[in-house]
Structures are given as structure tokens and as C-alpha cells.
Amino acid sequence: MFRFEPRGEASPFWTYASPVLAIILTVLGTGIIFMMLGQAPLPAVYTFLVAPLVDGGGLAALAIKAAPLIMMGAGLALCYRTSVWNIGAEGQFTVGAITAGGMALAMPDAPSWLLYPAILLAGVLGGAIVAAISAYLRTELNVSEILSSLMLTYIAQLVLIYLVTGPWRDPMGFGFPQTAMFTSSAATPNLVEGTGVHLGCLVAPMIALVMWVILSKSVLGFQLRVVGEAPRAARFGGFSERNLVWVAMLVSGGIAGLAGTFEVTGPIGQLTTEISPGYGFTAIIVAFLGRLHPIGAIFAGLLLALSYLGGNAAQIDLGMPNAVTSIFQGILLFCLLACDILILYRVKIVRPQITTAEAEPAPPKSIPVGNQSNGTGQ
Amino acid sequence: MIFFLTSFFVSVMAASTPLLLAATGELVTERAGVLNLGVEGMMLVGAVSGFVVGHLTGSTILGVSAAMIGGAALSLVFSFLTLTLLSNQTAAGLALTIFGRGFSALMGAGYVGIKGAILPKLFIPLLSEIPFFGPVLFGQDALVYLSFIILAGVWWFLYRTHGGLVLRAVGDSHDAAHAIGYPVVQIRLMATMFGGAMAGLAGGYMSLAYSPLWAENMTAGRGWIALALVVFATWRPLWLLGGAYLFGAIMYLSLYVQGIGVQVPSALISALPYLVTIVVLAIISRDRRKIRLNQPACLGKSFYAAT
């Protein structure tokens, strides 16, 4: 038998070793799932996680998929550090794409120097406004931002479907649910010609860097972290929780809107009903896997981008449903959460005949509990 | 008119039942102090398990059982993470939803668009022939009746039995409950698994009776609406009934309006239930005192005991 014993403080080693262990366990778990689906596990894992990088253009594809994940992951890291549970990045991404796309469609002939900044601004504002609804609901009406941001995601997706099948549908599009292609002055510029690697791929790590500077080097970042970790201390310190919730929501929402903007003006080039394979939800995993650290989000974003490429590869080469991607992502988050116990607790082997033990207070609390019988005694 | 009302009420009951089932389960889970945000994932796994087993065996009873087992199995993963490994419940619940989405899509990949077993409507002889009241009250499938029985049972358990008192104590103060000697973790495990089984059952109702077929993401946010319903009911079981039927009616109306060809775009009407959820949450939660008085005090908090 074993049990968990509090370390008394966070283990710096396991803070960083836990995601590594989680990734190893996830790869093993994915192999087992491949095996249960009748694939040879090693070649299947190779197809899923290695092959997409080896063949030509793999790294470019990875960068394109990673850009929205890194951006939103870094924004959510800041948000979750503040204990603001914005899980509606997908909706903020969608609305950012809608407002940016609307701007692109409204002024197709405007010169690039005018149109492109206007599009970026519209996208950021779109995402931020959706997040602002959740922030308002939380600070003024006490509504859980978890539920409100998620409901807004469903609404955003339906509004997108309405627009591309209704008023914004391309009259020349043979009835497909999509808008006209955006003009070249609305396009996100490519960094490397012919690869599809666009400006967003460069902006994403920069945003992560900025988030890191804000979180760890500024007074604002300090306040955000205190509100997240010790709300009572924040109240005594005179920090306005209300304002900090607003900051966290607006920043993460605006970034998600920007990610949506890059996606529709870059790789996609128009609005369709399917502008995101769940980037906003995957970004939640990116934030956690990156230890709620914006720089960590860069590495985590690359790994999760790989899981999308792997899902496509598994679909094409092995004939498997690309739901493998979400399974991989789900298992990864499970394993990560499981391994994280090692940060605050150590595993101790105990002999099973021990039936009573001295109760110890849990690490975050300091109330002495004293002697008591074990939990199973009636 | 009678005909219209009859079909209206019958359809609303069908639309409300999965919400009621899932919310009843989540209410018990939350009353024990566990916030499981994975309802949507558990519903999807329940829906696919129920559909596949129902299709393969042709038995709806086995299908419904499989749905409950599927939901409970997923909640067991959640319990292991949050109760044994003390993970953050919000994150674990989200993981459950992401995983459940992918897992159900993978399991159901070969079953999209085919006919499955359909839960029969039970027409109680004579009584079901009464105009209006007959079909509405005595012409439903077994799960509709079961949802009422379970809700009444949960109310009775929570407020009229010693076990219910202990469960509420665990949710309100796990340290005190532990000090008296109650097995906090075991009680939370049972409550979470009950919630999982009920979410699975709700999913099974979707794929065996409501739709009845399997499609990816077929629950379309009902799991999240069920979570909102628990807040709406301020953690009191009987209030769930009103909430579930209100949302069932809105969901049915949004389908109905599309059916009769009112010139409102269907995508916008489909957004109505989600919009109403936000509005209703705002109305209920605005009263902070009411939430504070009714919300289990240890909701979402991890419990560590050195046993």
C-alpha cells in the first residue's frame, strides 16, 4: 500500500518533470488505444507523432497549427493564474474571426495599409467583447464565467453558421456555406513564401513573451497572481478583484480574437462553418501543460499542434477516425493532472496493518486538527 | 387545439427528460462537494455506449444499462483524479469533456446514421386513452417516468434519510465530517458515480429514445445546460423539475418554430436555449446571498486526510 504525504512546499523538480512524465504516459496510453483498435502500436505511434514532422512541409504545418494554440494558451495561462476560468476561448476565437471577416468583406477594395490594421483591430475587439460579457456577468451578476463563456461559445458558433449560410454567403459560391474569398489586401502576409507560414506564427511566441513579462515582471502581473493564489491577501492588499477579473478576461479574449483573425485571413482566407478544429478548447490543455506559464505554452502549443497533424496522418495513412486527436488530448490532460500530485505530495509506502494515524493538516491550511481516528471508523 | 397541446406536452417531456436526468445526478454530486464539469463528456459516452449496445443486442434494457455504465466508468476516472490524486476539479472536469467527446466519436464512428434500438413508449391501458392527459401522463417511455421517480428518490434520500444528511455534511464541511468519522472520500466517490450514471442515462435517452440515433456531439451542450440547471435550482432537487421543463420547452419551441416555417433563421433560433441559460443564471445568481446560503460550502475543494 502507499499513500501521499504532503511535502510542505512545491517540488521544483516535479513542477517540470510532471509534464514530461505525463507525455510519456500519454504516448503509452495512445499506443494501447491504437492496439485496441487493431493497429500495430509502434508504427501507429510513429505515424501519429513522428512522421508528420519528418516529411517535407511538416514543420511549416506545425507552425501554422501551433500559432493559435500558443497565443490562446498564453492568454489563458494569465487568466487561470488569476483563477478566472475562461473556457470560452473557442467562442472568442469565433467572434474574432467573424468581426475580422466582416471588416474584410465590408471594405474589399480598401488599400492594405488601411484595411489590414482595421481587420486586426476588429478581430481583437470582437474577441474581447465576448469575453467582456462573461466578465460583466461574473463581476456584476455573480454568474460563473465557466458556464457563461461556454454558452457564448455555442451562441458564437451558431451566429457564424447563420452568417455564412445567410446574409454573408458568397453568391458565387455554388451554395456552399462560405463567404467570398477575402481580397489580397485583407490577407495576413506570409513570412516564408510558398509554405503558408504567416505573420501569426511570429506574433504567437511574441505574445507569449509579452504575457510572461506582464505576469512575472509587472505590478499588474503580481496583482493578478495574488488574486489567483490568495484572494484574501489580495483584498487586504487593496487590489480590486473586480478590475483584475476584467483584465484577465479582456486580455485572454482579445488574444483569442486575434488568433481567430489570423486563422481566417491567413490559412483559410474566408469564413466557413468550420474555421477551428477546437483550437479554443485545446488551448486550455496548452495552458495547463505549459504550467500556466506563457513560455511553457510555446512548447505545449507545439506538442498539441502535432496531435492535430498526427490525427490527420492517422486518418489518411491508417484509416482511423481523426477523433484520435481529441483522445490523445484528453488522455494528456488526465495524465498531467494525475502526475501533478507529485508536486505537492510524495508517495510513501506504508504497511497495510497500520490502521490509525495522526491526522495532519492539508498543506494550504494551518488549522491543527490533533489526534483522531481514521476516516473509516464510525 | 387539444391535439396540438397533446403533442406539444409529449414533445416537451421528451426534450426535458435528458436535462432532468443529468441535472439530478449532478445535483447529488455537487451536494457531496464535488464539482464535476464533465457532464457533457459523460452524456456523450453514455449516448454512444447505449446506442452501440442497443444496436448490437437489439435490447433497449441492455442499451440503457450500458449507457449508465459508460457514464459511471468515466466518472470513475474523474473520481480517481480528483479524490485520490487531489487534482483541480475544474481542470479534471474539462479533461473529461474533451476526452468523452473524442472517445465517443471514435467508438461511434461506424454507427453514424444507422438505425438503432428504440425505447418503446409504454401506453398504459385505458388511462392512456383519456384525451390529452392520457398520452401526456400515461403514454411516455419508461425513462420519462423513471426520471420523476429518481428525482423524488433523490429528494427523499437527501432530506429524509441519515445517508442524505451525511452526504450533505460531507459537501458542506468535509473536515468536520471527517472528524466525526465519516468516510469522506468513499461518500464522494459514490455521489460522483451516481452523477456519472445519471449523465450516462441522460445520454442513453438521447440516443435510444429522443433522437434516436448516434451522431457526433449529439448532446449539443445539454450537459452544460444541466450544470446550469443545478445552479438555477440552487441545489434543491424539486426546483430542478421546473428548470428542466422550462429548458425542455424552449428547446422544443426552437425546433417547432423551425418546423412550421417561421421566417427566422434556424441557426439563430437554435441559439435561444444557450442565451436563455445565461439570462436565467444571471437572474438567479444576482442574489449572492441566496447562492451563498444554498451552495455546498466545500463545492470544488479537494479533501486531503492523513489516514
pLDDT tens-place string over residues A109-159? 889 889 999 999 999 999 999 999 999 999 999 999 999 999 999 999 999
Contact between residue B240 and residue B233 where contact means Cβ atoms under 8 Å apart: yes
State residue B52's pLDDT score: 94
A154 contacts B220? CB cut-off 8 A: yes
Looking at the complex, does the CB of residue B31 fall below 8 Å from at least one CB of chain A?
A: no
- Per CB-CB distance under 8 Å, the chain A contacts of B37 are 146
Is A270 a residue whose pLDDT tops 50?
Answer: yes
B231 contacts A321? CB cut-off 8 A: no
Residue of B nearest to A372 (CA): B179
- How long a stretch of residues is chain B? 307
**Cα of B304 to nearest chain A Cα, Å:** 6
- Per CB-CB distance under 8 Å, the chain A contacts of B282 are 137, 141, 143
Q: Given CA atoms A215, A216, A219, A223 in this order, what sign does their dihedral have?
A: positive
Torsion angle (degrees, nearest 10) of CA B85, B88, B90, B92: -30
State residue A315's pLDDT score: 87
A333 contacts B102? CB cut-off 8 A: no
Is A92 a residue whose pLDDT tops 60?
Answer: yes
Phi-psi group of B177: left, alpha or beta (phi > 0 → left; psi -120 to 50 → alpha; rest → beta): alpha
Is A350 a residue whose pLDDT tops 60?
Answer: yes
State residue B125's pLDDT score: 65
Is B122 a residue whose pLDDT tops 80?
Answer: no
- Per CB-CB distance under 8 Å, the chain A contacts of B268 are 158-159, 162
List, for residues A40-50, the tens digit of each pLDDT value.
888 888 888 88
- Per CB-CB distance under 8 Å, the chain B contacts of A148 are 278, 281
State residue B289's pLDDT score: 85
Name the helix (H) or strand (E) containing B63. Answer: helix B60-79
State residue B261's pLDDT score: 66
Instruction: Give the number of other Cβ atoms within 10 Å of residue A359's Cβ.
Output: 20
Confidence band, pLDDT 50/70/90 cuts, at residue A367: very low
Confidence band, pLDDT 50/70/90 cuts, at residue A376: very low
Q: Please, what CATH class does the domain formed by B10-112+141-294 belong to?
A: mainly alpha
B265 contacts A330? CB cut-off 8 A: no
Alpha helices in chain A (DSSP H): 12-36, 41-49, 51-54, 58-81, 89-106, 112-141, 145-165, 199-217, 219-229, 231-236, 241-263, 279-289, 294-318, 324-339, 341-344
**Cα of B228 to nearest chain A Cα, Å:** 7
Residue of B nearest to A322 (CA): B106
Residue of B35, B78, B82, B87 to mutate, interface with A, max A Cβ within 10 Å: B87
The burial class, CB within 10 Å (0-12 / 13-18 / 19+), for A353 is: exposed
Residue of A nearest to B175 (CA): A369
What's the mean pLDDT in A292-320?
91
Looking at the complex, does the CB of residue B183 fall below 8 Å from at least one CB of chain A?
A: yes
**Cα of B14 to nearest chain A Cα, Å:** 22
Is B60 a residue whose pLDDT tops 80?
Answer: yes
**Cα of A336 to nearest chain B Cα, Å:** 9
Is A356 a residue whose pLDDT tops 80?
Answer: no
Which domains does chain A show, CATH number per domain?
A: 2-171+194-349 (1.10.3470)
Confidence band, pLDDT 50/70/90 cuts, at residue A378: very low
State residue A366's pLDDT score: 43
All three cell numbers of A136, joined, read 460583466
Confidence band, pLDDT 50/70/90 cuts, at residue A276: very high
State residue B262's pLDDT score: 67
A141 contacts B99? CB cut-off 8 A: no
List, for residues A156-203, the tens digit of each pLDDT value.
999 999 999 888 988 888 878 888 889 888 888 888 887 889 999 999
Q: Can you tell me the distance from the alpha carbon of B179 to that of B181, in angstroms, rounded to the nearest whole number? A: 5
B307 contacts A3? CB cut-off 8 A: yes
Residue, of B70 and A56, whose pLDDT is higher: B70
Is A353 a residue whose pLDDT tops 70?
Answer: no
What's the mean pLDDT in A214-221?
90
Of A137, A165, A360, the CB nearest to B306: A360
Is A358 a residue whose pLDDT tops 50?
Answer: no
A285 contacts B281? CB cut-off 8 A: no
Looking at the complex, does the CB of residue B102 fall below 8 Å from at least one CB of chain A?
A: yes
Instruction: Give the number of other Cβ atoms within 10 Å of residue B8's Cβ.
Output: 15
Is B71 a residue whose pLDDT tops 50?
Answer: yes
**What are the φ/ψ torsions at residue A345 (nearest 5 degrees)?**
-130, 150
**Cα of B1 to nearest chain A Cα, Å:** 33
Looking at the complex, does the CB of residue B182 fall below 8 Å from at least one CB of chain A?
A: yes
B288 contacts A376? CB cut-off 8 A: no
Number of Cβ pairs closer than 8 Å across A and B? Answer: 175
Domain ranges of chain B: 10-112+141-294
The burial class, CB within 10 Å (0-12 / 13-18 / 19+), for A11 is: middle
Share of chain B above pLDDT 70, in %: 92
Contact between residue A147 and residue B228 where contact means Cβ atoms under 8 Å apart: yes
Contact between residue A226 and residue A215 where contact means Cβ atoms under 8 Å apart: no
Residue of A nearest to B270 (CA): A158
Confidence band, pLDDT 50/70/90 cuts, at residue A371: very low
State residue A352's pLDDT score: 64
Average pLDDT, chain B: 88
List, for residues A24-79, the tens digit of each pLDDT value.
999 999 999 888 888 888 888 888 888 888 876 788 999 999 999 999 999 999 99
Contact between residue A327 and residue A30 where contact means Cβ atoms under 8 Å apart: yes
**Which amino acid is it at B53?**
V
Residue of A nearest to B95 (CA): A330
All three cell numbers of B31, joined, read 451536494
What's the mean pLDDT in B14-42?
95
Residue, of A291 and A95, whose pLDDT is higher: A95
List, for residues B173-226, the tens digit of each pLDDT value.
999 999 999 999 999 999 999 999 999 999 999 999 888 889 888 998 999 999
What is the ipTM metric for this complex?
Answer: 0.89
Residues 238-277 of B with CB under 8 A from A: 265, 267-268, 270-271, 274-275, 277
**Cα of B11 to nearest chain A Cα, Å:** 23
List, for residues B22-34, the tens digit of each pLDDT value.
999 999 999 999 9
Instruction: Give the number of other Cβ atoms within 10 Å of residue B54's Cβ.
Output: 27
A373 contacts B181? CB cut-off 8 A: yes
State residue B134's pLDDT score: 67
Residue with cell 464510525: A378
**Cα of A310 to nearest chain B Cα, Å:** 14
- Per CB-CB distance under 8 Å, the chain A contacts of B254 are none
Which stretch of A7-16, A248-257, A281-290 has the lowest confidence by average pLDDT? Answer: A7-16
- Per CB-CB distance under 8 Å, the chain A contacts of B227 are 147
What's the mean pLDDT in B132-139?
68
Share of chain A above pLDDT 70, in %: 92
**Cα of B44 to nearest chain A Cα, Å:** 13
Confidence band, pLDDT 50/70/90 cuts, at residue B133: low
